[in-house]
Amino acid sequence: MSADPALCDTAPVAVLMHRSQFPAAVGDALRASLRSREMNHKFHYDTTRQTLRWLRVHEAFSPARTDPDCGRIYSQAFSAAAVQLATASAIEVVSLGCGGGKKDAALLTELRRANAACRLRYVPADVSAGLVLIARDEAVAAGVAPEDCAPVVFDLALALDWAATLPTVLDSASTRIVCFFGMLPNFTPGEVLPQLAALLRPSDLLLVSANLAPGDDYAAGVTRVMPLYDNPLTRDWLWSVLQDLGAEPGDGKMEFRIVVCPENTGLLRIEAVVTFLRDCRLSFEGEVFGYPPGAEFRLLFSYRHTPERLTVLCRPYDLIFTDHWRNGGGDEGVFLGGRKTR
């Protein structure tokens, strides 16, 4: 049995750390969340306890875990991307919000199978240094040379210009695939689509996954997936971020709502909002934040798309999709495209 390449690689690993994830910036981001009463999504994964609770939610409710058909749509998308790049001499996979890198490793394996002679590079980016290193090891195990992995730690929500953050690690000579898996629900379209477009050159590819509203009736489809959010495991996970800052179980009541996108895109999103029932004081590094009875605190929002709506939203940014795949349940989609030349 051959040894795991990632385990045999004992050289130090360089990680690019953006200032958005420096300790002072992280503290400022949490204080901003507590003042605005709108939680930055990254703080739901900030502690080991929060991460373990999220994993329970993921295992119980994510289509990637509960619907075997999800594997098919990713496999088909990766094969289609590999066919388009079968003659490229160098390919660079840039994964924004890489997580543990399992999907990226599957993509890299398919790219290598379709184009054995190409040079593969991998740029995993996430708010967690631990996750980008795990993703890096997945890529090495999939056959990417250690020197061709460039992990980056930065906060996608706080870094104002992704295209300015990444050039120091990107290879201008490679054809680029930008991957954005599992991230689209937690950004307003006006925040994220210009950023994705700026990273893409005309010859590059974009792979995006989206949580979809199943069925032909959009509003009814969003209502139909509400149980994936409004359940005891998700409530427990979301409440933990306030509990870690000093909230007691009886301090507030959590409600899940369907609301209209504030950018007037016509999209709907599901929000988790806590309404405080009594005076609550949360503290961080000696600073106290008070919330009177009746005050609301938004912990999460999650957009639900349809292929048609996502296509229309991307058009003003010259992002076009040439193909997409949906699972049998209709609540998960993978989209392949790029940037249109004017």
pTM of the model: 0.91
- Backbone CA torsion sign across 210, 214, 215, 220: negative
Mean pLDDT of the chain: 92
Using left for φ > 0, alpha for ψ between -120 and 50, and beta otherwise, residue 93 falls in: beta
Residue 5 has pLDDT above 70, yes or no: no
Residues 122 and 177 grouped into a single domain = yes
- Backbone CA torsion sign across 211, 216, 217, 221: negative
What's the chain's length in residues?
342
10 within domain boundaries = yes
**3-state SS string over 155-193?**
CCCCCCCHHHHCCCCCCCCCEEEEEECCCHHHCCHHHHH
27 within domain boundaries = no
Helix (H) or strand (E) holding 290: strand 287-291
Residues 207 and 320 grouped into a single domain = yes
Nearest one of 205, 169, 193, 210 to 302, comparing CA atoms: 210
Number of structural domains found in the chain: 2
Q: What is the pLDDT of residues 144-171, one digit of tens each?
A: 999 999 999 989 988 888 988 888 899 9
Confidence at 325, pLDDT banded by 50, 70, 90: very high
Q: What is the pLDDT of residues 48-82, one digit of tens each?
A: 788 888 888 988 988 877 888 999 999 999 999 99
Query: What are the structure tokens assigned to 186, written together?
Result: 């937690």
- Domain residue limits at 181: 5-22+64-215+305-339
Residue 35 has pLDDT above 90, yes or no: yes
Which residues, 6 or more positions from 312, have their beta carbon under 8 angstroms from its beta carbon?
none
The CATH number that applies at residue 204 is 3.40.50.150
31 within domain boundaries = no
